[in-house]
Structure 1
Amino acid sequence: MIITGDDSEYIAFVKARLRDQFLMTDLGPLRYFLGIEVSFTSNGFYISQEKYIQDLLARAALGDERTVETPMELNVKLQPTDGDPLSDPTCYRHLVVSLVYLAVIGPDIAYLVHILSRFVSAPTTIYYSHLLRVLHYLRGTITHRLLFPRSSSLQLQCYSDATWASDPSDRRSLSAYCVFLGGSLIAWKTKKQTTVSRSSVEAKLRVMALLTAEVT
């Protein structure tokens, strides 16, 4: 159980009542939970998944130590027929599932994880090469963290964009947005649109509607 809040006396009261009813141990301030690391500083607190990434890279058993600056090359549009089918897709599926959880606090890989997840039923050599590129990117950015400042405004700032007809198989566009509360990134999403947009303007209007619903 994780108890949060800024009233230390009431938190102590709740923990005392819980100890009266249950066998429990107070582990102190939150440091590590389900692969997510939390560190507290005078500026605020950071969350990261450095150990989770290290374990993921160990399981992937990459053959070299190189890193890349971006998780994906620009203007790449993958199709189901690209590449040759993998003889054993188990590793691909296992790594993609791990990346999905990693994207929980990794907005920088959310777009590519969305793309790679679409091909888990029949992955090919091309998809696997893009998957390896993500792992090389993670190796170079393993110390990156999300900061939640101790003092920040409560003003919402929202950003959105859309790639028009980015999927060559069905001509659907991709929506992406992120929401900041002051200086804290609190929500983000990358999602294929459910209908075909007939122009880039229409695609952008759809993602703005999606973002408005999120903010509301």
Structure 2
Amino acid sequence: MTTVRTISSITASQSWKLHQMDVKNAFLHGDLHEEIYMKLPFDYIIITGTECGLITKFQKMLHATFHMKYLGQLTYFLGLEVHHRANGIFLNQHKYIQDLITLVGLEDISSVDTPMEVNVKYKKDEGDILDDPTLYRRLVGSLIYLTTTRLDISYAVHQVSMSSPRHLHLAAVRRIIRYLRGSPTRGLFFSTNSSLQLIAYSDADWVGCLDTHQSTKSLCMFLGDALIFWKCKKQYRVSKSSTEVEYRAMSIVYSKIVWLHGLLDPDNARKVKKIKKYEPCSDAMSKHSETKNTKRTFFGKTGSLCSAPFIINVIPIYTRK
């Protein structure tokens, strides 16, 4: 969905039109007498660009080659509701949230102001295990997809993603859905006045997991004022220091920057004037004796893969004593 958000941001800032086409039948006809393997194709296509004439020509070519139907301006795509406004494009998942509330039977329950209680971290073996985790896994899967437009629940959903869920975890999932009930129309806005400057932030919670002592990396990226990517995930290995965990998070950001720069290339990349990278700074990072070796280990020559100039700014962290 990063690609969809990025295209939506560029389309809004450049005042382009978003068109949608549907493949009437994306599967082959005929009897198969052998075992085959295939990837399921998407049957919806989004088309945008600067030249209306070329777009029309491309649509006619697709229609002549495949059984396709023109659906007009993009309004709905894979559960995303697309609202076109004079000052930009707004994405949300209102219907998806309403269906989720109905599924769990919380239509008449009051909403809450936060997706989870403050300063709460859940252990994987805390409380009684659920006899049948089917509904729990379905709800968590739906919540994960909701993070496509709802950054505000990403951390809470990360906390309740358990392989062996307990009743306490199900209660936490229900609280997230109650929070969504109070703000079902919230989403992402892509302004027509937004620039195409790529800005990235990263941070990490060192040994924050109470069960495995793994650290949690978090990062987000903006194209101008538009939020196009975010991630909150446990790191695969235990880091020896806060310096190491910070650089691991930063290396993921640089890899994503290189990928996004390739997505914007060749035409739009020329419009990306510069890329800013914001990273947290603490005394541990500035004084750690192995900082230089750690940086070399995780970054290598990543910067050379992207031709756009990087500007790295440090956000100081002040610890209250």
TM-score normalized by the length of structure 2: 0.63
Find the counterpart in structure 2 of residue 14 from structure 1. 58
Q: Which stretch of the first structure deviates more once superposed, 12-21 or 194-203?
A: 194-203
Find the counterpart in structure 2 of residue 33 from structure 1. 77
Of 121, 131, 143, 1:77 maps to 121
Counterpart contact for 2:92–2:149, Cα < 8 Å: yes
Counterpart contact for 2:122–2:160, Cα < 8 Å: no
Structure-2 separation of matches of 1:50 and 1:200:
39
Structure-2 separation of matches of 1:8 and 1:46:
22
Structure-2 separation of matches of 1:26 and 1:83:
53
The equivalences for 1:56-135 within 5 A come to 56-62=100-106, 64-117=108-161, 119=162, 121-135=163-177
Counterpart contact for 2:215–2:234, Cα < 8 Å: yes
Q: Which stretch of the first structure deviates more once superposed, 190-199 or 86-95?
A: 190-199
Deviation at 1:198, TM superposition (A): 3.2
Q: Does 1:208 align with 2:245?
A: no
Deviation at 1:207, TM superposition (A): 1.2
For the residue of structure 2 that corresponds to 1:25, the secondary structure is strand
Counterpart contact for 2:207–2:216, Cα < 8 Å: yes
Q: Which stretch of the first structure deviates more once superposed, 62-71 or 32-41?
A: 62-71
Report how many residues are paired.
Answer: 214
Change (3 A) 1:88 1:63: farther
The equivalences for 1:165-184 within 5 A come to 165-184=207-226
Bigger Cα Rg: 2
Deviation at 1:63, TM superposition (A): 6.7
Structure-2 separation of matches of 1:206 and 1:23:
47
Amino acid at match of 2:222: F
Structure-1 separation of matches of 2:150 and 2:247:
25
Structure with the bigger RCO (C-alpha within 8 Å, sep 6+) is 1
Find the counterpart in structure 2 of residue 156 from structure 1. 198
Unaligned runs of 5+ in 2: 1-44, 259-321
Deviation at 1:197, TM superposition (A): 2.3
Residue identity (%) = 44
Structure-2 separation of matches of 1:18 and 1:205:
46
Amino acid at match of 2:208: S
